Amino acid sequence: ESLSFGFLQVASPVPQGPNKWHEQFPIAKGQRQSPIDIVTSNAKVDKALSDNPLKVSYSNNCCQSVTNTGASFQVVVDGAGTEISGGPLDSTYKLVQFHAHWGPLGGDEGSEHTVDGVTYPAELHLVHWNQKYKDVGEAVDKPDGLAVIGVFFSRGKEHAGFKPISDLFAKVPRKADKVDISFNYDPACLLPARRDYWTYLGSLTTPPLFESVTWIVMKDPVEVSAEQLAALRNLLWETPSGEGQMCNNYRPPQPLQGRLVRST
């Protein structure tokens, strides 16, 4: 929101970058921050993860709308029937929203997690909250409150499943713009066919940076076209020099602080 004194319009402050977040959110320098660089040789295969496979049961009428949050697009989901369980999770979690992080036009950086230092042009986050809590607001800052599935986007052929969503970005150019999703949509179409993943305990990658996320990062990227990656830039946001294309909305990898990354 912008402050206004009658004739004088004071623009709302431009959001600060990741290297300043610690000033307002000291947890930014915490012990379980995200994202991280996943060093595959240090990841430990845990048979327990495959003995109790990650179960993803989304419905195809759960997506309600797409919003420009001013930091990403966000597909808002009503929790009806969109649950994950198993794998690293001791409880059932419900999907509440999904969004993404990406880099500059045509670049290869943009993902938040990296794999042996390799970045992808974008990373999708499917955000779920633990059903042991009464709502997402109660879950959001608890150590086992959230589970986020990360899916790397690589540049290649068009992703038919992502197209209905990427086509909507042009309709929500500005912060708080919102468009309803009138068609049936199953977010599971955004997951790679091979369901192998790395998992570790981390945090939200944007303020308030709560250390409340069990991360499940899919090993295989999904391909989206250069045009679909470019469509992400139909979303606009405030830059120091005024309104501009939303890009580079990713936090770089944070210190591992001795955490174990497990692997299927």
Ligand X SMILES: CCCCCCc1ccc(S(N)(=O)=O)cc1
Positions touching ligand X (CB under 6 A) are 125, 127, 140, 148, 204-206, 208, 213
**Among Zn ion, ligand X, none, partner that 208 touches (CB below 5 to 8 angstroms by kind):** ligand X
Contact pick of 125, 191, 221, 229 for Zn ion (by CB under 5 A): 125
Which residues have a Cβ under 8 Å from the Cβ of 226 and sit 6 or more positions away? 106, 155
β-strand partners of 245: 236
- Rounded distance between C-alpha atoms, residue 182 and residue 171, angstroms: 14
**Among Zn ion, ligand X, none, partner that 140 touches (CB below 5 to 8 angstroms by kind):** ligand X
Residue nearest to Zn ion (CB): 125
Closest to ligand X by CB, 59 or 205: 205
Q: How many residues does the structure list for the chain? A: 264
Q: 65 with 190: CB under 8 angstroms?
A: no
- CB of 59 vs ligand X, minimal distance in Å: 21
Which residues have a Cβ under 8 Å from the Cβ of 58 and sit 6 or more positions away? 81, 82, 83, 95, 186, 187, 188
Closest to ligand X by CB, 10 or 176: 176
- CB of 4 vs ligand X, minimal distance in Å: 26
How many residues bind Zn ion, per CB under 5 A?
Answer: 1
Q: How far, CA to CA in Å, does 139 sit from each of 82, 119, 133, 145?
A: 17, 30, 6, 4
**How far is C-alpha 128 from the chain's CA centre?**
11
- CB of 31 vs Zn ion, minimal distance in Å: 20
Closest to ligand X by CB, 77 or 140: 140
Residues of span 60-119 touching Zn ion by CB under 5 A = none
Closest among 30, 81, 41, 56 to 204, alpha carbons compared: 30
128 contributes a contact to Zn ion by CB under 5 A: no
Which residues have a Cβ under 8 Å from the Cβ of 19 and sit 6 or more positions away? none
- CB of 249 vs ligand X, minimal distance in Å: 9
Closest to Zn ion by CB, 113 or 125: 125
Determine the 3-state secondary structure of 24 from DSSP.
helix
* Apex 177 CA angle, 138 and 207, nearest 5: 40
Q: 229 with 55: CB under 8 angstroms?
A: no
Closest to Zn ion by CB, 32 or 125: 125
Closest to ligand X by CB, 106 or 137: 137
Q: 222 with 190: CB under 8 angstroms?
A: yes
**Among Zn ion, ligand X, none, partner that 126 touches (CB below 5 to 8 angstroms by kind):** none
**Among Zn ion, ligand X, none, partner that 168 touches (CB below 5 to 8 angstroms by kind):** none
- CB of 212 vs ligand X, minimal distance in Å: 9
Contact positions vs Zn ion (CB under 5 A): 125
